[in-house]
Chain A
Amino acid sequence: MNTSAPSSSSSSPLPPELLAIFGRTNGHLLTEQTAHNAVDGLAEIARDIIGAAEGAGVSLINTDGTRMSVGATDPRVLEADDQQYELGQGPCMSAWVSGEPVYIADTHTDQRWQKWTTAVAPLGVRSCLSVPLLDKPTGLGAMKVYSNTVDAFSGKDRRLLINLARSAATLLDHIQASDTPQRISNDVKASLAERDTIGVARGILMERLDVDRQAAMNHLIDLATDANTTIGFMAAIISERQDDTEPTPDP
C-alpha cells in the first residue's frame, strides 16, 4: 500500500500577505489610530455638510458608557464633549442612550441638562444638534454639531446628520470588536485546512485515476455533487480512507 499520500503543490508557510488579504476582505484590520483618523474626518465632514455648524464632533462610546474615542473640529468642541463625560450628562449621552436625535435650540434656556449647558455656554455653544451612531440595536456613539447662534439647525440639517451618522456607524462598527485578530486567525486556519484536505484528496484522485489536477478536481466536484454533500466533506472521506488497509465501508 502506498502510504505517502501525494501532497498538494503549495504547502509553503502562511505568508503575511495572506493574513492581510483575509483582514481586508473582512474589513477588520483597522487600528486604533485608524479609528481616530476616521472620527476626526467624520467630524470635519459633519461640519462641512451642515451649513450652520461652526464645530462638529464624533464620539465613540463603550457599552458601559465610557468614551472610547473622540474626534473634533476644534478645541472648543472637544472641551464641550469632555464636559459631558465629566458631568455624566449632555445631549450626546442622551442621543446614545435613547437612540434618538437630541436638539438644544438655546443652551441659555434649555432645562434638560442644566449642568452641561451652564458649563458650555461660556465656550460659545448656543445651540447643539446630536444624533446617535446606530448600527444594530446598540449605539456606537454620537455625532453632533454646534453653533454659537440660537436655534441654528433646521429639520433638513437633522435629516442630513442622521443620514451621515447611519453610514458612519456601518463603517465604524468594523473597528470595534476586540476579538477580531483571533477571529481572522481562526478563519485563515480553517480555510487553509480545508484547502489542504482538498489538495490531498485531489492528489489521491490524480494518482488513482491517472489524471491531471484539473480533471481530478472536476472529478472531486462531481463526487460531492452526486453524494449531495460538500466538497470539503467528500475530500475528507477520500483522504481519510486512503490510510485504511480495508477499503470496504462498514455499513
Chain B
Amino acid sequence: MSKHTPEEQRQRTLHAIHSSGLGVQSVWVRYFSFTGDVDEFEVDAYLNGLITLTPLDRDLVSLAVNELIAERLPPTAPYSNDSEDPDESDTLVALDVLDDRENGNEDGGGPGASGNT
C-alpha cells in the first residue's frame, strides 16, 4: 500500500469532513481528547491547506474524523456466533491485539484481520 502524501491526506480528510457534515469544532474537540496540542484555528488552517502539521497531528485529526464518522453510522447486523455483549467482544479483540504485539507478532495484517473467525 503506497503512503499518502501530506497533501493527499489533507484533501481526503477535508473531503471526509465535508461529506459527513462534521464541523471543524467537533473535530478539534475530539482531536484535543486524543492529546492533540495545536489549537482549533491551526487545525482549521491545516484542513484548508494554509499550514502543515506533523504526521502525528495529521493522523490524530484523521482519527478524530474517522471516530466521529463511525459514531454516526447506523447500527450493523450481528452474526450468530457473535458475543452478545459487544463491549465484551471488543475487549477480547483489543486484548488479543495487545498480546500479539507483545509477543513480537508485529505482522498484524491490518484492520479486520483480528476478527473472531
Contacts and interface: CB of A to CB of B under 8 A. Distances in A.
Interface of A: 8, 21-22, 25-26, 187, 190-192, 194-195, 198-199, 202, 214, 217-219, 221-234, 237-238, 241, 249, 251
Nearest to B113: A226
A202 B35 contact: yes
Nearest to A219: B101
Interface residues of B, number: 35
B19 interface: no
B108 A222 contact: yes
9 contacts: A21-B40, A25-B40, A199-B35, A214-B54, A219-B101, A221-B60, A228-B115, A229-B93, A231-B63
Interface string B19-60: 000000110110011110001100000000000001010011
B91 interface: yes
A154 to B, nearest CB: 36
A227 B63 contact: no
Chain A facing B: main interface SS: helix
Contacts of B59: 218, 221
A226 B35 contact: no
A233 B90 contact: yes
Given A187-B29, A223-B101, A228-B111, 18 more contacts: A21-B39, A21-B40, A25-B26, A25-B40, A191-B29, A195-B33, A198-B33, A217-B35, A217-B60, A218-B56, A221-B59, A221-B60, A222-B108, A228-B93, A229-B93, A234-B94, A241-B95, A249-B92
Nearest to A208: B102
A251 B92 contact: yes
Contacts of B91: 237
A232 B33 CA distance: 9
B94 A227 contact: yes
A214 B56 contact: yes
Listed residue (B56, B92, B95, B115) with the most chain A CB atoms within 10 angstroms of its CB: B95
Nearest to B96: A227
